[in-house]
């Protein structure tokens, strides 16, 4: 997913759970920590990320509670990401 194609105004990524959808992975580029958000009813129901994360090489990998992962390219620190339900 390339969020830079969104232009100004920001975007929101949502992890919609689907049957058999656990354990999937996604890579996100163009994520702007000033305007973009990650929405998850299961992994951040109160705006706090309940999964785990790891950072390497200036990128952050989010490990959601359903086993899915999301690599955020160019974001080195999970604390700079805004999470919503």
How far is 60 from 72, CA to CA, in rounded Å? 5
Confidence class for position 85, pLDDT limits 50, 70, 90:
confident
23 phi and psi angles, rounded to 5 deg:
80, 10
For the chain, how far is it from start to end, CA to CA, in angstroms?
20
| Mean pLDDT calculated for residue range 54-66 | 95
- Spatial separation of the C-alpha atoms in residues 46 and 8, rounded to whole Å: 26
Cα(84)–Cα(80) distance, integer angstroms: 13
Question: Which of 11-15, 67-71, 78-82 is the most confident on average?
Answer: 78-82
- pLDDT of residue 18 exceeding 50: no
- What is the percent of the chain with per-residue pLDDT over 70, rounded to a whole number? 74
Rounded mean pLDDT, 75-84: 94
Which pair of tokens denotes residue 18? Answer: 């689907």
């Amino acid at each position: 997913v390339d969020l830079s194609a969104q232009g100004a105004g920001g975007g929101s990524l949502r992890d919609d759970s689907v049957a058999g959808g656990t354990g999937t992975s996604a890579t996100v580029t163009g994520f702007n920590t000033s305007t973009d958000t990650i929405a998850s009813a299961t992994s951040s129901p109160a705006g706090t990320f309940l999964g785990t994360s790891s950072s390497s090489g200036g990128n952050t990998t989010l490990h959601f509670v359903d086993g899915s992962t999301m690599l955020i390219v160019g974001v080195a620190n999970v604390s700079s990401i805004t999470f919503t339900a």
